[in-house]
Amino acid sequence: MSGHGYEKGRLNLPFVGLCTFGKYPYQPDWDSIDADFAVLGAPFDFGTQFRAGARFGPRGIREASTLFSFGHAGAYDHEDDVTYLEADKVRIVDIGDADIIHTDTMQSHANIETGVRAILKAGAIPIVLGGDHSVNIPCINAFSDQEPFHLVQIDAHLDFVDERHGVR
């Protein structure tokens, strides 16, 4: 985050500029990811039962995350008076969203998997912002050639099933 901070005169406040996760750098070239963590949006919600809208999740999470970048090169916690995830210690990039093709679940999931595989190829840890519960499937598939791995899912509940109301 060069040029970011009070000392340099460029605050990069939450309401200006591009809305990336935590105002971290945007890396649109998935072959040039150079980071410890890479954030991928998976704005997919064709798997919802009756309440569409989860496709706006990545955008909402990114927007909310900018509030922690108020003139600091990291996530400032006012209660602890500490800046976490400092840019000079942890390299984080936002690689944008996987392409979602309306009405094509298989290709949309393949595109999410491609994004996660690009992150893994770069040696970074993927952070995927969804979307509905089905975005777990392409994320897990991307690890098919990896050693055992851990998945952390933050959600209100887990609905990971193969079939719902007779539909696979």
Q: Is 95 within a domain?
A: yes
pLDDT tens-digit series, residues 88-138: 899 999 999 999 998 899 999 999 999 999 999 999 999 999 999 889 999
**CA separation for the pair 57, 121 (Å, rounded):** 25
Q: Which among 129, 131, 120 has a CA at the least distance from the CA of 152?
A: 129
Domain count, the chain: 1
Q: Is 115 within a domain?
A: yes
pLDDT tens-digit series, residues 8-31: 666 677 788 888 998 889 999 999
pLDDT tens-digit series, residues 138-165: 999 999 999 898 888 887 666 667 777 7
Give the per-residue pLDDT at 102: 87
Q: Is 33 within a domain?
A: yes
**CA separation for the pair 154, 142 (Å, rounded):** 19
What residue numbers bound the domain in which 77 lies? 14-141
Strands 75-77 and 37-42: unpaired
**CA separation for the pair 37, 48 (Å, rounded):** 28
- CATH number, position 115: 3.40.800.10
Q: Tell which wins on pLDDT, 39 or 158.
A: 39
Region of poorest pLDDT, from 6-20, 41-55, 59-73:
6-20
